[in-house]
A and B are shown apart, each in its own frame.
Chain A
Amino acid sequence: MIENALTGSKRYWTWVGFLLVVIFIGFLFYLRQFHEGLGITGLSRDITWGFYIAQLTFLVGVAASAVMVVLPYYLHNYKAFGKITILGEFLAIGSVVMCVLFVVVDLGQPFRAFNLFLYPTPNSMLFWDTIVLSGYLILNALISVVTLSAERKGIAPPNWIRPVIIFSIPWAVSIHTVTAFLYAGLGARPFWMTAVLAPRFLASAFAAGPALLILLCLLLRKITKFNAGDEPIRKLSVIVTYAMIVNVFLVLMEFFTAFYSSIPEHTAHFKYMYFGLDGKANLVPWMWTSVVLSIAALALLIVPKWRRNFKLLTVACFAVFIGLWIDKGLGLIVTGFVPTVLGEVVEYAPTFPEIMITIAIYAVGALIVTVFYKVALTVRGEIIYDRIKPGAKPQSVETIGS
């Protein structure tokens, strides 16, 4: 089955080659970081987690969102998702692999990572996060391999896989809940200490993940013969709409509790995010970009006429994805550290090597998704690349990984 990844058009190989070059460049930067230490990043004694952990947090959401196609299809027998569940599962696999890589590049002593398993420590949320993430990876790999090989042989998948699939649904919820618990249980960081963090993570995940899936379906429709059909895309767009509304609602709840109680250690973080504190305002332009994108996305999604227009839907999905990437990534992680536990306002910005390593990990994710989609669609006989116009720019394909 996997041999299908090794035959492809020139366009396919150009894209794969491009990703490999990006990965290689990032790897060189990682070697430097490995050699000199994490000192080459923008992280500091005060802001000890940054860009890498932000990506981890965001991508766990993308991984968990596969449940939004798996659940309707398997639990409610919603047939229209039949064609795209495998895409959701492969997207989940790519995302979890990226998550693991982001944890590894963030470690000061990556070669000791196995200490996590040698000295299992159930009181640490990081321990549980490792368990649920690796479990989710295994579940999704198993499910997609079994269902796809059955499909290739033209037979129904074996019966035992169904309970496994059902089991993967609460498991998907658990990966994002446990990731929220990494932050939400720390008395030292009032910004994260909110019971609404896990629900908010799930809501934003169920908006950003399906938004990416819509973009991928529309892209595949353009460059391959695979057509997911209008109905599943429409259904996904409704899911994105509701999830985005819930997410924005939960964010507004945070605002209310912080500002009505006006407890300084709660309000300070929000002030830093949106207005800056002590003249330090690195995050402000980013956060307002996120606000504008979220409002625009909501408008485009809520009005049914606009949502049904695939051009506008594409814009809306980009807006959702990037808006949440900012909000849940840098916004959430960095703001937890500003002001610091000593009440100081310190700033952080990722350095060039840090950004290159990050891009490389995204390229790994893009490569995984590309290869797996290629395999899946070839199995279904839908991958003929004859619809790509020669000279089409690679960036039209870039959304696969970003």
Chain B
Amino acid sequence: MGIDRRGFLKVSGLTVLGIASGKASETFASSDSHGHTSDGTTKRYAMVIDLQLCKEQEGCTDCVNACHHVHNVPEFDNRKDEVKWIWKDSFHHAFHEQEHHYLDKDIVNHPVLLLCNHCDNPPCVQVCPTKATFKRESDGIVMMDWHRCIGCRYCVVACPYGSRSFNWRDPRPHIEEVVDDFPTRTRGVVEKCTFCEERIFEGRPPACVEACKHGAMAFGDLEDPESRVRELLRDRFSIRRKPALGTEPEVYYLV
């Protein structure tokens, strides 16, 4: 995550009037009141998911349940109106560009955990016409302002990972048990995983990471060489989804 590369892109983004590069939006977003840096240092949060450990827990949805519960994510019984922040999907859907016939069947036949990648170079932020989706400079989290979103769904179209959901209907009647300390959304806005920014703020790990009893998920700061995520990425071989697009996803999968 070279500072140099980011700095460079920022300049080049500005030189083309902020049109060509999503990085330009960072420049705008950072002058906005959204970002806040608690201690003045820049962090880069990332998640590492161990596919080996995860696949051993056939049918486990602890992380999904925990996330959807604490964030008041509605449950619709039809695919069309579906809202999801984190979910299990087939290897084929998660990594369809990396497949071949002779891959380890053990890996290929097990579902993969999918969520927003909090991309370093997020196309969703680039396209949003209102800055309702923005990237926080202080820690790299791709955030959403649900009160500003006009529901154009351009971000849903631009996300290469299917990470975003739109509230096609009023979500409230479809929330099993409303949690009071997290907002519910209204119909007509987009939502997605926020890396549990509200919990990180309190120094707690994301709800999914906390809920995973098998240690298949790790969360931490990539800027800190001693962090658990850096250690895992150093020691094990990892892949990311659609790396060729240059979005720089910050969710890594250990294979």
1/0 per residue A105-130: CB within 8 Å of B?
01111101101101101111111101
Q: Which residues of A contact B24 (CB under 8 A)?
A: 122-123
**Docked CA distance A182–B127 (Å):** 9
Is there contact, CB below 8 Å, between A187 and B149?
no
CB-contact partner of A112 in B96, B148, B159, under 8 A: B148
**Range for the number of chain A residues in contact with chain B:** 35 or more
Q: Which residues of B contact A36 (CB under 8 A)?
A: 169-170, 187
Q: Is the interface of B mostly helix, strand, loop or mixed?
A: loop
Q: Which residues of B contact A75 (CB under 8 A)?
A: none
| CB interface residues, A 311-366, toward B, < 8 Å | 336-337, 340-344
Shortest CB-to-CB span from B16 to chain A, Å, is 10
**Docked CA distance A112–B190 (Å):** 14
Is there contact, CB below 8 Å, between B148 and A115?
yes
Is there contact, CB below 8 Å, between A121 and B131?
yes
Shortest CB-to-CB span from B77 to chain A, Å, is 13
Closest to A112 in B: B150
Is B158 located at the chain interface by the 8 A CB criterion? yes
Is there contact, CB below 8 Å, between A343 and B93?
yes
Closest to A265 in B: B97
Is A189 located at the chain interface by the 8 A CB criterion? yes
1/0 per residue B135-162: CB within 8 Å of A?
0000000000000111111101111111
Is B215 located at the chain interface by the 8 A CB criterion? no
Closest to B151 in A: A108
Closest to B82 in A: A45
**Docked CA distance A37–B166 (Å):** 10
In the complex with contacts A124-B127, A188-B123, A342-B96 CB distance below 8 A: yes
Q: Is the interface of A mostly helix, strand, loop or mixed?
A: loop
1/0 per residue A48-64: CB within 8 Å of B?
11000000000000000
Is there contact, CB below 8 Å, between B189 and A188?
no
CB-contact partner of A109 in B79, B169, B188, under 8 A: B188
Closest to A114 in B: B150
**Docked CA distance A342–B112 (Å):** 12
Is there contact, CB below 8 Å, between B187 and A122?
no
Shortest CB-to-CB span from B251 to chain A, Å, is 15
Is B72 located at the chain interface by the 8 A CB criterion? no
Binding site for B on A (CB under 8 A): 36-39, 43-46, 48-49, 103, 106-110, 112-113, 115-116, 118-119, 121-128, 130, 182, 186-189, 265, 336-337, 340-344
5 contacts between A and B (CB under 8 A): A108-B149, A108-B166, A122-B18, A123-B24, A130-B129
The 10 A-B residue pairs with the shortest CB-CB distance in the complex, in nearest-first order: A108-B151, A108-B188, A188-B160, A39-B168, A37-B187, A39-B169, A342-B93, A126-B129, A44-B80, A124-B129
